[in-house]
Amino acid sequence: MTFAPLFVPEEIREAVSDRAWLAAMLDFERALAAAEAAEGVIPTAAGGAIAEACAPDGYDVDALAEQGRAVGNPAEPLVRALRERVGGEAAGFVHWGATSQDVTDTAAMLVAQRALERVLAELAAVADGLAALAEEHRSTPMVGRTLLQHAAPTTFGVVAAGWLVAAHEARARLADVASERLAVQLGGAVGTLSVLGSDGERVLARVAEELALAEPVLPWHANRTRIAELGAALAECAGVLDRIALDLALLAQTDVGEVREAAGGGSSTLPHKQNPVGSVLVRASARLVAAYSGVLTGGLAQEHERGAAGWQAEWEALSGALAHTGGAAHTLAVTLAGLEVDVDRMRRNLDATGGLVLSEGVAFALAPTLGRERAHELVREVALTAGRSGRTFREELVADGRVELTDVDLEDLLDPARHLGPAEALVDRALAFHRSGAA
Amino acid sequence: MTFAPLFVPEEIREAVSDRAWLAAMLDFERALAAAEAAEGVIPTAAGGAIAEACAPDGYDVDALAEQGRAVGNPAEPLVRALRERVGGEAAGFVHWGATSQDVTDTAAMLVAQRALERVLAELAAVADGLAALAEEHRSTPMVGRTLLQHAAPTTFGVVAAGWLVAAHEARARLADVASERLAVQLGGAVGTLSVLGSDGERVLARVAEELALAEPVLPWHANRTRIAELGAALAECAGVLDRIALDLALLAQTDVGEVREAAGGGSSTLPHKQNPVGSVLVRASARLVAAYSGVLTGGLAQEHERGAAGWQAEWEALSGALAHTGGAAHTLAVTLAGLEVDVDRMRRNLDATGGLVLSEGVAFALAPTLGRERAHELVREVALTAGRSGRTFREELVADGRVELTDVDLEDLLDPARHLGPAEALVDRALAFHRSGAA
Amino acid sequence: MTFAPLFVPEEIREAVSDRAWLAAMLDFERALAAAEAAEGVIPTAAGGAIAEACAPDGYDVDALAEQGRAVGNPAEPLVRALRERVGGEAAGFVHWGATSQDVTDTAAMLVAQRALERVLAELAAVADGLAALAEEHRSTPMVGRTLLQHAAPTTFGVVAAGWLVAAHEARARLADVASERLAVQLGGAVGTLSVLGSDGERVLARVAEELALAEPVLPWHANRTRIAELGAALAECAGVLDRIALDLALLAQTDVGEVREAAGGGSSTLPHKQNPVGSVLVRASARLVAAYSGVLTGGLAQEHERGAAGWQAEWEALSGALAHTGGAAHTLAVTLAGLEVDVDRMRRNLDATGGLVLSEGVAFALAPTLGRERAHELVREVALTAGRSGRTFREELVADGRVELTDVDLEDLLDPARHLGPAEALVDRALAFHRSGAA
Amino acid sequence: MTFAPLFVPEEIREAVSDRAWLAAMLDFERALAAAEAAEGVIPTAAGGAIAEACAPDGYDVDALAEQGRAVGNPAEPLVRALRERVGGEAAGFVHWGATSQDVTDTAAMLVAQRALERVLAELAAVADGLAALAEEHRSTPMVGRTLLQHAAPTTFGVVAAGWLVAAHEARARLADVASERLAVQLGGAVGTLSVLGSDGERVLARVAEELALAEPVLPWHANRTRIAELGAALAECAGVLDRIALDLALLAQTDVGEVREAAGGGSSTLPHKQNPVGSVLVRASARLVAAYSGVLTGGLAQEHERGAAGWQAEWEALSGALAHTGGAAHTLAVTLAGLEVDVDRMRRNLDATGGLVLSEGVAFALAPTLGRERAHELVREVALTAGRSGRTFREELVADGRVELTDVDLEDLLDPARHLGPAEALVDRALAFHRSGAA
């Protein structure tokens, strides 16, 4: 992860570091020994000795990975090192009935579980920030933009509410995956729990319990739906963060100026620049999450009882996807917390076209007399003239002899506040949705 | 879709065809008019006239798409054509309060809903086929393979059960998306339902009901979580189908010969070839689904109130993802139904290494006397010798003076049937899971 | 391709249609027979009879694809149909020494070759359009934007020149692939040309010549570098078109208004909208090209002597990538041809921040007296004040007691025309590059 | 990069490390100052002082990245730190006329240049290893496999030659990108070289020369074709390595046994396992390269004069793509160097179907008497019977009354050595191609 501190806070980087993976692998071995001791599969004393040796201090994870080149994974060297540390008779009971993939897969789930706690908290902070914006700007009029053009009036409350619903939906999906799909892996050589025999199912259940992971229906060495769903859920979150950051960056354009990032980034050469740095970092992380997620969802087709590439490619991709989703969420939460909203500029932009964005209403008002098609056509002509003449839409309407509307009508038709429809009700729906989900 | 009939059955191709999209767009306009008439927003007579004109016959979808070049979507020309057909006063009430994206988005949901019915049925057929295999081969021993090497004994029942659980999980996710995430789109110009005013929420609810789609919290023009989740769920299904097809193709290798596709494909030059054609077609479709799904999940970052690219790219990607997931499921279901399983060959392959795949058990048996490390090492040496000498593992064991095991011990240790652990229980777990899910 | 006419002109759609593939497959069979007749491998009469039967009329490509389900490709049924049509003794010489993949791979190259002719022509039109803009606006000042913020003055000529260089580089790469990497495929069953024996190399060379394709070093059934490079080159072109369209859409924002698409798209509800429809369609196509290209570059890992999925997935992806690259290029060429550039608005936008974008120069001017750091800091402070006070940067500079610059100095420092550096020379470099490449 | 030492040798990891990026950024500042001093843009003494301060020791790259959060890139804090270290008057001339992106982009090119030296060397080692295999096994018969089925005889020489041509083509493309497309970046704030004025072009040329990078036609801040082509070329290399590793893993299957990795990986539980560890690691790295490359090619659409996400996402992706391509090449080169080829097993596998793979020749031999269709059909029937009866194809042929071929004919027809066509000539073509390219 080049320049990682730029994108991801230390705590989240730490949660997906090689050290974190090592600790999680040792947690698996400890929990396995504990479960087997409890079920009488291995001696109680062995369980204790193994637990003691599973403290991560003193293991050199880089060296273990280096040794792993010979076997294709870091678990086998770790198990050897662990056996050595345990020593004596108990050493023979280390990793009893398990296979290397049991170690790394369970570790992947634990790393995910722990990192997701942070990621979900950051996403909750994003949602809270959005809810606060929606609430505060419930009635702040601004221009709605479609295909990057001024279209019709909306409120910043509705805009923020739209972001909020998306953030909520994406976070809810990730939370579901976190609570339902993170499962222990334990299957032995080919996923039949053969060494454990009739104790297998009980040991499996107990290890799951020990580690607060779900118990799978079957060992899932070559069934990567859990990983794929996790990858997809992270990509969905990152995509939603990306969208919000995109909108912020667009609204922060010098030419728009409706929002500004408090900690606007300076420039090495341009003293006046107030770059939307947070949004940019969020968007960059989102691209990386999409790529990592593609590796995770692309790994579904693994061969026979253990994959010969897909599995091994997951480690880096999982760490990267977790880190950058968390980083993006963190950065966006901070950005939202400090966001400056320029309500006056919103209003000025809304009025910039002199009522043009309200042409839809004018066309509707003219439809009864002129027919819908002709009304639409007439308004379109006036709008185009206004676009080119420099006069406002309203001025052109008045100037055009064909438009028979009173001043009062026009006042009414060209007042944005009267064309917001149920905007406030929509904000309330979003806030209620947010609150129910947060419950 | 080049050579589409190769990959996708006609019924599914039809369900995502331009004609199907046209019909769905007209369904939206009909439902909107009906809802607005019912709510008193437009005259009852207009609702009736519009409904009548919404029969898809007589619209030229290619011409509409061609006309759409000028505006960037096919809905606008369709609305114009519909207004023309409706004629009279009622024409003015066509598309009342809606925007083009309301039409295409709701159409996308309807196309998905209808195609998914078929796709889910095909996936159910796949699961049933897998359940039948798991049941029939509950106790059929075969060699388990990890990293493409013989590893240890398993049963074909466990293998099929593993496929089954994966198929089930992926189908369950897709079914969830189908039932919970397909929602009507109705927001008007910028998603505030402005034209409909205080009737907006009621009309929204009623259109959703009319079309048997969910009612969204907010209009979701620029919030594409629904589309992204649909794309991800399709990719997950396709990935699982891909995995099963990969395993089938590997098991069908001339060098393995454990399964054979009944309708084994001939070759234009090689009279004897029995190609795993079904598996190949499934895998090819799966690659395309992954690509289309990437477009769908990659479209989350849409600008402001309506996207300027992401939205428009979804149409082809959605059709393609649905078609190829359905095609792959159909082809795999047919392949499974006709699959020939060569139980004898499975047994011969299991025995091919002369007990080598049972070396794990031998090492365990020697561990109490030799210590785990030395036992593992000794067995590894014997295994390597056997791999090179041409003698079987058992022969080498007997020949090696250091192994103190009786003939009876060896018989026992090298009988695959005794090393299957709780394999049958695992099959039962998978079948129970299947049945519960199918309920 | 849902709503294909929206995105891709008919001629290009036709060039990648199933009919075009059929014609190309028959071209291969005809060329093969001709080459083999010329080399004395098959009777001259057979060559003639086969050539005659290779007219595409009368073959039903949908039916052939449907029949292809049984064998996994459309070539085998086509060869059968061709043999039937040839009849008599000559029928036995149809497809002599070739395999199905020889047919579809060579057809892929021919389809690409023919479609690329159009695609490259459209890309040349794009480059010409950009060159014209660069030339015309060689000295048109506008504000340069970085991270979506006003940064410093540039010219529209430099901006267009930047687009031009990118378009040129991408087109050059695609042209290279077209001229060097499209090769005939002929290898027989496993790529050894076994049936042709010692005639093999000569027949290979002659078929290549017949079809104006390169002669490969070896048959490349499982070596897909050609396909991958074609996919990557198409994606590069589409990516560059995407970039230009993105900039156009951003410059066409109502809030920016520096360019406008002549054929600005209307809206089904908003009479005044002038959507950047061309840019939007280009960007949508580019997303699809990226996805299709991923399938093509993702197909490098094919098994043994013929792939069991990667090959078969290429057909749809290749057609789609060619079509949408061509469609995007066509649409952008048309858009550029009709682009309205608002030179006044460019100037107004450049001045909108009251000289703020020239703060870099002011800081440089103050550096000798204040030191670089303090000068930068002072200017930054003034700039921030100006950003918030409503006064212009110049006004704030004058108001700030610390800035000791004369009016003449300020005039000079805040005149954009004096801060363009070698902008015109850069435009000339780009135009010279364009002309040399077009030669 | 989780467990990076598993996949990538230390030297290559080091070449893309944050330290390497830091050194490259400082190299840019040093070269810029030197060029500007040489051109008289800054004082000679300043050039010297800056050069001295550009030694990378003493800079804390993690701290710089952390500080970069506020501005969105690591260059700005580095420039500040550099100015501080230079001190005095010369400090004001640090980074003269450059912008942050000039620093990171040129650094990216330098990091790529240096890493590619290693990557290309590893790829050359791969090609040499393949050439040695092709040469040694020029006449080693083996069965060719299509769609994972035995198809017809080939030689291991042809197989290795096929890998060789692919490796060569991919490496040649990467070498072209390395020598032609790595260019210096220098444009200043918005790419006009404004601060440097009429010196701009000369300084640009000189910095390029200093750093042995190409001089671009224009600054390319928002034109990412170079990055995209580099990404695509890396992905092509990784894809070819992936293909070779896939074939090795398939040939190393216990069921095939035609090759074996010398350093066959052990297993934590299975003493006998000889896993194709090298191939697996290569394939895992290739998946990651594809993902990183997607970020690089996906970054073409950057906004205006400097991108607001695409640029920033490149750093991690570029490092990752370089590292894993290099890692995969290294691992494959080592794997090939130690590859054990089992010539006997190849022969046994070729004969395993009792001549079935020669059915094509038998059909050809029968065609003159029976007609091609009937001959093909008859042979297919016999082949199927042989497949099921347990008797060999030859035995079935003899048993079938309809086949009128003498024993001598059969001997001839069923001798693989007589059905290799110009296989040796093909190997020679590939070797000549290799030698010419290596020249």
DSSP per-residue letters across C385-433: HHHHHSS-HHHHHHH-TT----HHHHHHHT-GGGG-TTHHHHHHHHHHH
pLDDT at C439: 41
Q: Say which of C272, C353, C359 has its CB closest to residue A254.
A: C353
Residues of chain B with C-beta less than 8 angstroms from the C-beta of D255: 150, 253, 255-256, 349, 352
Query: What residues does D341 pair with on adjacent strands?
Result: D259
The mean pLDDT value for D48-69 works out to 96
Do you know the residue count of chain B? 439
Instruction: Please answer yes or no on whether A162 and B191 come within 8 Å at the CB atom.
Output: yes
User: What number of other Cβ atoms are within 10 A of residue B153's Cβ?
Assistant: 26
Res D433 pLDDT > 90: yes
C-alpha distance from C279 to closest chain A C-alpha (Å):
10
Which range is least confidently modeled, A399-408, B207-216, D122-131, D264-273?
Answer: D264-273
Give strand ranges (E) for A87-157.
141-146, 149-155
Stretch 352-411 of chain B: residues touching chain C, C-beta under 8 Å: none
- Name the residue with tokens 């980087």: A13
Query: Which amino acid would we find at residue C288?
Result: L
Instruction: Please answer yes or no on whether B272 and D393 come within 8 Å at the CB atom.
Output: yes
pLDDT at D439: 42
Considering chain D, what percentage of its residues have pLDDT values greater than 90? 79
D186-228 pLDDT, tens per residue? 999 999 999 999 999 999 999 999 999 999 999 999 999 999 9
Which range is least confidently modeled, A136-150, A344-358, B107-121, D252-266?
Answer: D252-266
Q: Say which of B284, B309, B316 has its CB closest to residue C1.
A: B316
Confidence of residue A439 (pLDDT cuts 50, 70, 90): very low
Buried b (16+ CB within 10 A) or exposed e, B244-279: bbbbbbbbbbbbbbbbbbebbbbbbbbbbbbbbbbb
Specify burial of residue D97 (Cβ count, 10 A radius: 0-12, 13-18, 19+). buried
Instruction: Please answer yes or no on whether A236 and B229 come within 8 Å at the CB atom.
Output: yes
C271 touches chain A (CB under 8 A): yes
Stretch 210-269 of chain A: residues touching chain C, C-beta under 8 Å: 249-250, 252-256, 265-267, 269
Catalytic residue selected from B80, B85, B173, B306? B306
Name the region of B307 (left: φ>0; alpha: ψ -120 to 50; beta: rest): beta
**Annotation marks residue A268 as catalytic:** no
C-alpha distance from B255 to closest chain D C-alpha (Å):
6
Closest CA in chain D for residue A316:
D2
Q: Where are the alpha helices (DSSP H) in C59-141?
A: 61-68, 75-86, 100-136
Instruction: Please answer yes or no on whether D83 and C188 come within 8 Å at the CB atom.
Output: no
Q: Say which of A246, A300, A422 has its CB closest to residue B200.
A: A422
- Name the residue with tokens 């589309």: B227
**In angstroms, rounded to a whole number, what is the distance separating the alpha carbons of residues A254 and A249?**
10
Cβ contact D195:C360 at 8 Å: yes
* SS3 label, residue A90: helix
Helix (H) or strand (E) holding A340: strand A340-341
C-alpha distance from D378 to closest chain B C-alpha (Å):
9
**In angstroms, rounded to a whole number, what is the distance separating the alpha carbons of residues B364 and C62?**
60
Q: Smallest Cα–Cα separation from D192: which of D169, D167, D221?
A: D221
B150 touches chain A (CB under 8 A): no
**In angstroms, rounded to a whole number, what is the distance separating the alpha carbons of residues B102 and B73?**
12
Catalytic residue selected from A80, A85, A306, A345? A306
Res D269 pLDDT > 70: no
The mean pLDDT value for D345-356 works out to 90
Instruction: Please answer yes or no on whether B256 and D255 come within 8 Å at the CB atom.
Output: yes
C154 touches chain D (CB under 8 A): yes
Residues of chain A with C-beta less than 8 angstroms from the C-beta of D3: 18, 21, 61, 65, 68, 74, 315-316
C-alpha distance from C225 to closest chain A C-alpha (Å):
21
Closest CA in chain C for residue A251:
C148
Q: Smallest Cα–Cα separation from B396: which of B341, B353, B361?
A: B353
The two beta strands, A259-260 and A340-341, are: antiparallel
A67-107 pLDDT, tens per residue? 999 999 999 999 999 999 999 999 999 999 999 999 999 99
pLDDT at B219: 98
B47-80 pLDDT, tens per residue? 999 999 999 999 999 999 999 999 999 999 999 9
Closest CA in chain B for residue C275:
B71
Instruction: Please answer yes or no on whether B275 and C317 come within 8 Å at the CB atom.
Output: no
Print pLDDT tens along chain C (439 aa). Answer: 899 999 999 999 999 999 999 999 999 999 999 999 999 999 999 999 999 999 999 999 999 999 999 999 999 999 999 999 999 999 999 999 999 999 999 999 999 999 999 999 999 999 999 999 999 999 999 999 999 999 999 999 999 999 999 999 999 999 999 999 999 999 999 999 998 999 999 999 999 999 999 999 999 999 999 999 999 999 999 999 999 999 999 999 999 999 999 865 555 556 667 899 999 999 999 999 999 999 999 999 999 999 999 999 999 999 999 999 999 999 999 999 999 999 999 999 999 888 888 887 888 788 878 887 788 888 888 887 886 777 888 888 888 888 878 888 888 888 888 888 899 999 999 999 999 875 4
pLDDT at D350: 95
Stretch 53-82 of chain A: residues touching chain D, C-beta under 8 Å: 61-62, 65-66, 68-76, 79
C-alpha distance from D401 to closest chain C C-alpha (Å):
23
Cβ contact B132:B338 at 8 Å: no
pLDDT at D362: 86
pLDDT at A156: 98
C-alpha distance from C331 to closest chain B C-alpha (Å):
9
Closest CA in chain C for residue B5:
C66
Buried b (16+ CB within 10 A) or exposed e, D253-274: bbbbbbbbbebbbbbbbbbbbb
Res A139 pLDDT > 60: yes
The two beta strands, C259-260 and C149-155, are: unpaired
Instruction: Please answer yes or no on whether B72 and C317 come within 8 Å at the CB atom.
Output: no
Q: What ipTM was assigned to the predicted interfaces of this complex? A: 0.95
Buried b (16+ CB within 10 A) or exposed e, B316-326: bbbbbbbbbbb
Residues of chain B scoring pLDDT < 50 = 439
Q: Say which of D161, D223, D298 has its CB closest to residue C166.
A: D223
D415 touches chain C (CB under 8 A): no
Instruction: Please answer yes or no on whether D300 and C197 come within 8 Å at the CB atom.
Output: no
Instruction: Please answer yes or no on whether C192 and D144 come within 8 Å at the CB atom.
Output: yes
Do you know the residue count of chain A? 439
D365-395 pLDDT, tens per residue? 888 788 877 888 888 888 878 867 778 888 8
pLDDT at A264: 56
**In angstroms, rounded to a whole number, what is the distance separating the alpha carbons of residues A145 and B307?**
9
pLDDT at B399: 86
Instruction: Please answer yes or no on whether D150 and B254 come within 8 Å at the CB atom.
Output: yes
Res A353 pLDDT > 90: no
Summary mean pLDDT of chain B? 93
Q: Smallest Cα–Cα separation from A78: which of A21, A145, A152?
A: A21
pLDDT at A204: 98
Closest CA in chain D for residue C294:
D294
Summary mean pLDDT of chain A? 93
**In angstroms, rounded to a whole number, what is the distance separating the alpha carbons of residues B46 and B86?**
9
For testing contact with chain A, the best of C143, C146, C149, C358 (most A CBs within 10 A): C149
A248-270 pLDDT, tens per residue? 999 999 999 999 998 655 555 56
Residues of chain D with C-beta less than 8 angstroms from the C-beta of A79: 268
Instruction: Please answer yes or no on whether A274 and C387 come within 8 Å at the CB atom.
Output: yes
Residue numbers of D annotated as active site = 267, 306
Instruction: Please answer yes or no on whether A255 and C254 come within 8 Å at the CB atom.
Output: no
Q: Say which of D148, D353, D386 has its CB closest to residue B252.
A: D148
**In angstroms, rounded to a whole number, what is the distance separating the alpha carbons of residues D80 and D82?**
5
Catalytic residue selected from A179, A267, A380, A435? A267
Q: Where are the alpha helices (DSSP H) in B298-416?
A: 310-337, 343-351, 359-370, 372-389, 393-399, 407-413
Closest CA in chain B for residue D348:
B255
pLDDT at A356: 82
**Annotation marks residue A435 as catalytic:** no
Residues of chain D with C-beta less than 8 angstroms from the C-beta of B266: 380
Q: What token pair was written down for B223?
A: 């919030």
Please give the model's pTM, rounded to 2 decimal places.
0.97
Q: What token pair was written down for A105?
A: 């897969």
